[in-house]
Chain A
Amino acid sequence: MLRYVAHRLLASIPVLFLVTLISFGLMQLVPGDPAILIAGLQATPEEVERVRRQLGLDQPFHVQLFSWYAHLLRGDLGTSLLLGRDVLDVILERLPVSFSIALYALVLTVAVGLFAGIVAALRQNSLVDQLVMTVALLGVSLPNFWLALMLVVLFAVQLGWLPSGGYVDFREDFWGWLASATLPAVSLAMLQMGLLARITRSTMLEVLRQDYIRTARAKGLPARLVVGKHALKNVMIPVVTVLGIVTSLLLSGSVVIETIFSIPGIGSLLGSSILRRDYPVIQGGLLFVAAMLLVINLLVDLLYAWLDPRIRYGHGE
């Protein structure tokens, strides 16, 4: 197990390095003179010059790269052009907000997706199965930002049950947070719920056909244990491996969803930085999210290894 952890940690170092390189490279993609673009067309030559110096764009390429890493190592992701503040500070300040919504969506995804997938598999080809699979298919096909708008029309505008936007801090008012976070979390979770339900169902069907399930039944175990213990633990192994993808999709979705619901998280920060060309925020935000995902994927792999003894004892890859 320790060897496996060490191996995974080592393997993620080059990837992390490349991730930082890609984030740096994004700035190089900006066509023409980025200083002019950033400062705006109405800017005076002095202002453009100031921006250029502030971003180090007057330096040769290798110096820029070197200073990018020098700053990174000190945990410095740059300064927001618009807010004039440290990018990492801004991100960390907004992290709990995004985190609370994403966690809510993740819990919904796993609870509903897993449950629906298992029920569908146990009642294969029944009406329930067909219903679950249809909803799951819609979940992976409906655009989440559009779904969010429709949910707002229905639950906020027509029925008035939930707020149409805004965010209440969970540390101040939990129920207020729950009300404000429900529509965002549901629209954010739809895609992953559908995905997880589909994967869980097909995995469950596969597992239920295995010989060891027949053995469990032949031992006289009740269905509760055959399914809830013997099948479930085997289903969890492949399901856990998609948790990384699920989280990645959640973070992808948070840009539009946070923007639509005016939630002051990292997603909406990125959303608003795009149009204002606040490149350091975009660059730093992307890097931060990718690094976070690498850590999450590492945790997922460890969970996977813990669930599957064949890997835990070093027989797997």
Chain B
Amino acid sequence: MASEALSSPLDAVAAPPRRRFPTLRRLLRHKLFLVGAFLFSIVLVAALFADLLIQVDPNRISMRHKFRPPGSEWIFGTDNFGRSQWSRVVKGAQLSLAIGFGVVLLNALFGTLLGALAGYFRALDNLLMRIMDAFMAFPVILLAIGITAALGPGSINAVIALAAVYTPRTARIVRASVLVVREQAYVEAARAMGASNLRILLRHVLPNCTAPLIVQLTFIFAYSVLSEAVLSFLGLGAAPPTPTWGNIIAEGRLYIREAPWITLIPGLALAMTVLGLNLLGDGLRDVLDPRLKVQQ
């Protein structure tokens, strides 16, 4: 048979040459992911280099300069106390991202732990999942409000509340992945060879949950930043002179007729952060875990 002819044009189509970092390559070709990365990195740079970017103390009051509109002298204008909006918004970025990051960290830790326990140990599953269901029965912000109201206002408490609220959602996702993975042949094999439960969990099961987990955590980051702004808008975040975006908007609200920029700018910063993270999440989902649908 014409074997030389067989291998030439057909095989080239069937097996495209393998490249390194295929996931990264696909992400870099995902346009909206890149837009998200761009938006988010602006905020990230502002947060990381806040102290270099700020010339004026965000809390320095200067009544002579109050209500200056954005312009060449004051980039983002000044507020009712003549404080630099630029300083306050940049400092706010730092706080927002720190809080978001804190929530994501706690959430990853406890979500993975609870999800893995529920998915791996049949006996715990029912109890844990009912508890998760109960937590999820409360609307997100309402439960966060309840917890922060009880613990008292403050950034740390907001982080705790938000982590508590989002953890059940992450735990569910991890559990679902674990349930799939634990039935797989190589896990069976590891068990047959006498590997301990903990070892199987750490070495085989969890690494296979990373894709949905990364996607989920990106969205959690977005919701946390958004929810923290809501909490501090309601007076449950860091106490007022602290420039969180929610605080700035809450104060600016009183002067919205004469100085709308006080409200406008932190809101835009917040929107940019959340939009960026949502786009990153969408991109990661498309590339890492295409089966996942749009989630809450």
Contacts and interface: CB of A to CB of B under 8 A. Distances in A.
A22 interface: yes
Contact of A282 (B137, B145, B226): B145
A150 to B, nearest CB: 7
Contact of B137 (A31, A137, A238, A294): A294
A311 B236 CA distance: 44
A291 to B, nearest CB: 8
B278 interface: yes
Nearest to A18: B134
Contact of B230 (A15, A21, A143, A279): A143
A31 B151 contact: yes
B188 interface: no
A138 interface: yes
B228 to A, nearest CB: 10
B141 interface: yes
Given A145-B230, A149-B263, A293-B139, A282 B149 contact: yes
Nearest to B144: A252
Given A22-B134, A143-B226, A289-B139, A195 B150 contact: no
B146 to A, nearest CB: 5
Given A14-B130, A18-B131, A157-B256, A289 B142 contact: yes
B150 A30 contact: yes
B229 interface: yes
Interface string B117-149: 000000000000011011101111111011101
Nearest to A149: B263
- Sort chain A's interface into a size bin: 35 or more
Nearest to A23: B146
- Sort chain B's interface into a size bin: 35 or more
A68 to B, nearest CB: 15
Task: Report which residue of A138, A195, A252 has the largest number of chain B beta carbons within 10 angstroms of its beta carbon.
Answer: A252
Contact of A22 (B138, B235, B236, B279): B138
Nearest to A148: B253
B294 interface: yes
A26 B147 contact: yes
Query: Which label, helix, strand, loop or mixed, suits the secondary structure of the B interface?
Result: helix
Interface in A1-53: 14-15, 18-19, 21-23, 26-27, 29-31
B256 A146 contact: no
A149 B249 contact: yes
Task: Report which residue of B222, B234, B294 has the largest number of chain A beta carbons within 10 angstroms of its beta carbon.
Answer: B294
B99 interface: no
A207 interface: no
B275 A137 contact: yes
Nearest to A253: B141
Interface stretch (A93-101, A268-276, A301-309): A268-276
Nearest to B249: A146
Contacts of A26: 146-147, 150
B131 to A, nearest CB: 6
Interface in A282-296: 282-283, 285-286, 289-290, 293-294
A147 to B, nearest CB: 8
A289 B76 CA distance: 40
Nearest to A152: B256
Given A195-B296, A270-B142, A146 B271 contact: yes
A208 to B, nearest CB: 16
B147 to A, nearest CB: 7
Interface in A177-224: 195, 198-199, 202-203
Interface of A: 14-15, 18-19, 21-23, 26-27, 29-31, 137-138, 140-143, 145-147, 149-150, 152-153, 157, 195, 198-199, 202-203, 238, 242, 245, 248-249, 251-253, 255-256, 259-260, 270-271, 273-275, 277, 279, 282-283, 285-286, 289-290, 293-294, 297
Given A21-B134, A137-B279, A157-B257, 18 more contacts: A22-B135, A137-B275, A140-B278, A145-B229, A146-B229, A146-B267, A150-B263, A252-B140, A252-B141, A252-B142, A253-B141, A256-B233, A274-B234, A277-B149, A279-B149, A289-B138, A289-B142, A290-B138
Of all A-B residue pairs in the complex, the 10 with the closest CB atoms, nearest first, are: A18-B134, A146-B267, A252-B141, A141-B275, A252-B139, A29-B150, A141-B274, A251-B139, A198-B294, A248-B139
17 contacts: A15-B133, A26-B146, A29-B147, A31-B151, A143-B271, A145-B233, A153-B260, A199-B294, A202-B294, A242-B296, A249-B140, A274-B149, A274-B234, A282-B149, A286-B138, A290-B137, A290-B139
